[in-house]
Structure 1
Amino acid sequence: MSEASSTTTLSVVVPMYNEEEALPALVERLRPALDGTGVSYEVVAVDDGSADRTAELLEEFRQTWPELRIVKLRGNSGHQAALTAGLHSSKGAYVASIDADLQDPPEKIPEMLDLAVAEGLDIVYGVRSDRSTDTGFKRRTAGLYYWLMRRIVGKQVPSQAGDFRLLSREAVEALKALPDQHQVYRLLVPWLGFPSGEVTYHRDERVAGETKYPLSKMIRLAVDSITNFSAAPLRLATWLGVFSFFSCFVLMAVTFVIWLVGHTVPGWTSLFVAMLFLGGVQLICVGLLGEYIGRIYTAVQRRPTFFIGYDSDASPAKGPEAKGSGAKGSGAKGRENAGV
C-alpha cells in the first residue's frame, strides 16, 4: 500500500460530463452510502469539460461535503480519459468507480468494499443481473459486445460488467504503469489477472438528463476494444484475401466451362461485379491496417490523453507537467462517453 493511501481507505471516482440534472440525486444517494461505511473516504468528481452548471454545482456541494474533491479537465477528453484522471488522482487504499447517472447503485459500493477486505480481493466487479430498463437495441448490442470480447480477449472478461467496480491500490498502480493510450478499462482490468469477485445488481434507468453515449461512441468503444486487445482483424483481412482468391478461381473455372460449351455471352456485368468485390476486399484490408497503424502513430507521439486544469485537493502547479497519460497545469477552468 502506498504512502498516499495510508490515511484514506476509500476513493470513489465519478467521471461526469454535463450532469447538472443528475448531480443532486447522485449526492443524495452517494453521501449516506459512503458515510455508512465508517471508513475515511474521498469522492473524486472529475468534470470532463462540462458546458453546463456541473462545475458550479460541484463547488456548491463541496461547501457542505468536505470529502468531495473536484478535478477539472481543461477540455472534454472522453469518459475513459476522465476515469483515468480520477484513478491517477485517487489516494485511497481501495478505489471505486461509478457513473453519475445512477444507473449503477452507489449503495453497492460498501458491499464491494466488504467483499474485497473479507476475501483479500484486488478487484470486485459490479455485474448487471437485470438490464430490463435498457432498450431492446441496447441489450442486444451490449450482449453482442461482451460475447465478442470474451471470444477475442478471453473468458476472464466478466459478462455484463461495465465501469462500476472496486480496485485495490495495487491494481490501480498496475493500471497506471501500463502505456496504453486508448484505455478500455473493462478489458484492461480483467487482463491484469488479479484476484477478483463479483457483486450483482439491477441496472436502473438514468436518473436525469440524456445519455452521453450514442451509437457512434458505442461503435468507437467496440473498435478500440478489438484493436487494443487483439490482432484478429488483421487475420480477418488475410482470410478475406484467401476467400476472394478462391472465389475468383471458381469464377474463372465456371467461365472456362461456359466457353467450352459455346454459351459465352459478351457482357460487362460479371467483370464489373468481380472488380467491385476485389476492390471492396482490398479497401477493407487497407482500412484494418490503417486502424492499427493509427494506433502505432498515436503511441509513438505519446501525447497526454487529458490535461488537469484544477484539483481542489492539490496546491497550484507552477506549469504544465506531463505525467503518465495525462498532464497537470496551473488552475484554469476546463471544458464523453459512458459504458455499454
Structure 2
Amino acid sequence: MIPDLKMKLSVIIPCHNEQNNVGFLIQALTKTLNETEYNFELIFVDDGSSDDTVNEIKFNAGIYPNVFYIELSKNFGKDNALKAGISMATGSAVITMDADMQHPPGMIIKMLQFWEEGYDIVYTYRENANPHAKLYQKVTSRLFYKGINMLSDIKLEDGTSDFRLMDERVIKDLKLIDEHELFLRGIIKWAGFKQAGIPYTPSKRHTGEVSYSFAKLVKLAIGSIMAFSARPLYIMTGVGLTVSLMTIFYIPYVLISFAEGYAVNGWASIIATIAFFGGLQLMVLSIIGVYVGKIFMQSKARPNYLIRSTNLVNVNNDLIRV
C-alpha cells in the first residue's frame, strides 16, 4: 500500500484513571505520527474514571484540533471502551493502544510498514514476561493464555495485547459484531484476514497502577474461554462418562461381598463418594449455568456502553468532528 496524504489514521485510547498520562501520551503520539505521511486523529475513551481523566482529555482536546474524546456514563470495561472508539473511527486504519505508555508509540511506524505491505491486521505480543509486572500478574497472564489456547477454538500468542493496527475493511466488519461480553483479542484473531504479529517488550508505566484485580482477571478468563468455545461442556461430558464407567468396576466388589457374607461397610468412603459426585454435578451445572447466563444477557440486547458526552457528533450516520 502506497501512503496517501489524504489517508488518515485513527488512534483509539481507552482510559481509566489515567489523568497524569494523557498529556504525555498525546505528545509522544504526535511526535511519532508527525514522522509519517498520514493525517491522524486521537480518540480518547474515558471508561468511567474516578479521577480527573476526562477533564484532562477535554483540556487537551481544546488545544489539539485532532484530539477527540468519548466520555462513557460509567465503567463498562476496556473492550467496550475500545468498541465505542472503533464505532466512531473514520481512519483508513485504526490503531488501538493503552494510555499508560506500556505500548511504545514508536512501534506504530513498524505496524504501518506491515500495513503498507498489504496486511489487514498487525497485532503485538510480549516477547518476554512483562519485566514491570508483579509476580501474580505474570503467573495469571501465562495461565490465561495457556487456558484459552487449550479450551477455546482460537490460538493466541502468549502476551497478545490490545496494541494493534486494523485496516478499515476489518473495522467495517467489527462494527457489525454485537456481543454482550466482548473479547476483542479473540474476536480479531477469529476474524481471519491477513494478519502479522510483532513481538515487543512493554515499557514501564508512566504513572499509576494497573487497575485489573485478580478477581477481574479470573472473570475475564472464564468469559473469554466460554465466548469462543463449547469445549468446557464437552470436557465435562467426557469426565461424567469416565466416572460413570469407573463405577462399573465397583459392581463386582459389591456382588462378591454379598456372596461371601460380609457387609459392604465404610461410612467415610460412602460420604466421600457422595461428596465427590455432588461436587462434580455442581461443577457441570455451574458451567451450563454460565452459558445459559450469557444467552440470557445477550437476549436482553442492551448496548455495550452509553455515552455521557463527546466532541464527536453523529448526524445521519456521518461523523462530524467539532
TM-score by length of structure 2 reads: 0.89
Corresponding residue number in structure 2 for 1:326: none
The verdict on how the C-alpha distance between 1:269 and 1:58 changes in structure 2, with shifts beyond 3 A counting, is same
- RMSD between aligned residues: 2.2
C-alpha distance after superposition, 1:178-210 (max 9, x if no partner): 232211111110111100112221112322112
Q: CA deviation at 1:283?
A: 0.6
Q: CA deviation at 1:263?
A: 5.1
Structure 2: how far apart are the matches of 1:304 and 1:154?
Answer: 26
Corresponding residue number in structure 1 for 2:103: 104
Structure 2: how far apart are the matches of 1:248 and 1:64?
Answer: 73
C-alpha distance after superposition, 1:140-182 (max 9, x if no partner): 3322322333334456533321111000001011111123221
| 2:88–2:312 contact (8 Å) kept in structure 1 | no
Corresponding residue number in structure 2 for 1:310: 309
| 1:97–1:165 contact (8 Å) kept in structure 2 | yes
- Does structure 1 residue 141 correspond to structure 2 residue 140? yes
Q: CA deviation at 1:126?
A: 1.3
Other structure's SS at 1:29 match: helix
- Does structure 1 residue 215 correspond to structure 2 residue 214? yes
Corresponding residue number in structure 1 for 2:126: 128
In structure 1, give the amino acid aligned to 2:118: G
Corresponding residue number in structure 2 for 1:330: none
Q: Which moved more, 1:149-158 or 1:240-249?
A: 149-158
Other structure's SS at 2:199 match: strand
Corresponding residue number in structure 2 for 1:61: 60
Corresponding residue number in structure 2 for 1:160: 159
Identity fraction in percent: 29
In structure 2, give the amino acid aligned to 1:144: L
| 1:244–1:281 contact (8 Å) kept in structure 2 | no
TM-score by length of structure 1 reads: 0.85
Runs (5+) with no aligned partner, structure 2: 318-322
Other structure's SS at 1:314 match: strand
Corresponding residue number in structure 2 for 1:334: none
Structure 2: how far apart are the matches of 1:213 and 1:200?
Answer: 23
Structure 2: how far apart are the matches of 1:82 and 1:253?
Answer: 60
Corresponding residue number in structure 2 for 1:40: 39
Structure 2: how far apart are the matches of 1:156 and 1:273?
Answer: 38
Corresponding residue number in structure 2 for 1:79: 78
C-alpha distance after superposition, 1:290-318 (max 9, x if no partner): 11111111121111010112221326x8x
In structure 1, give the amino acid aligned to 2:68: R
Structure 2: how far apart are the matches of 1:173 and 1:28?
Answer: 29
Other structure's SS at 1:217 match: helix
Runs (5+) with no aligned partner, structure 1: 1-5, 324-340
Aligned residues: 312
Corresponding residue number in structure 1 for 2:94: 95
Structure 2: how far apart are the matches of 1:135 and 1:261?
Answer: 62
The verdict on how the C-alpha distance between 1:271 and 1:65 changes in structure 2, with shifts beyond 3 A counting, is same
In structure 2, give the amino acid aligned to 1:308: I
C-alpha distance after superposition, 1:35-60 (max 9, x if no partner): 22231100110001111100111122
| 2:154–2:228 contact (8 Å) kept in structure 1 | no
Structure 1: how far apart are the matches of 2:230 and 2:279?
Answer: 21
Corresponding residue number in structure 2 for 1:29: 28
Runs of 4+ with deviation above 6 angstroms:
none
| 2:21–2:100 contact (8 Å) kept in structure 1 | yes
Q: CA deviation at 1:218?
A: 1.0
| 1:128–1:201 contact (8 Å) kept in structure 2 | yes
| 2:152–2:231 contact (8 Å) kept in structure 1 | no
In structure 1, give the amino acid aligned to 2:125: V
Other structure's SS at 1:106 match: coil
In structure 2, give the amino acid aligned to 1:239: G
| 1:97–1:164 contact (8 Å) kept in structure 2 | yes
Q: CA deviation at 1:125?
A: 0.7
Q: Which moved more, 1:97-106 or 1:141-150?
A: 141-150
Corresponding residue number in structure 1 for 2:320: none
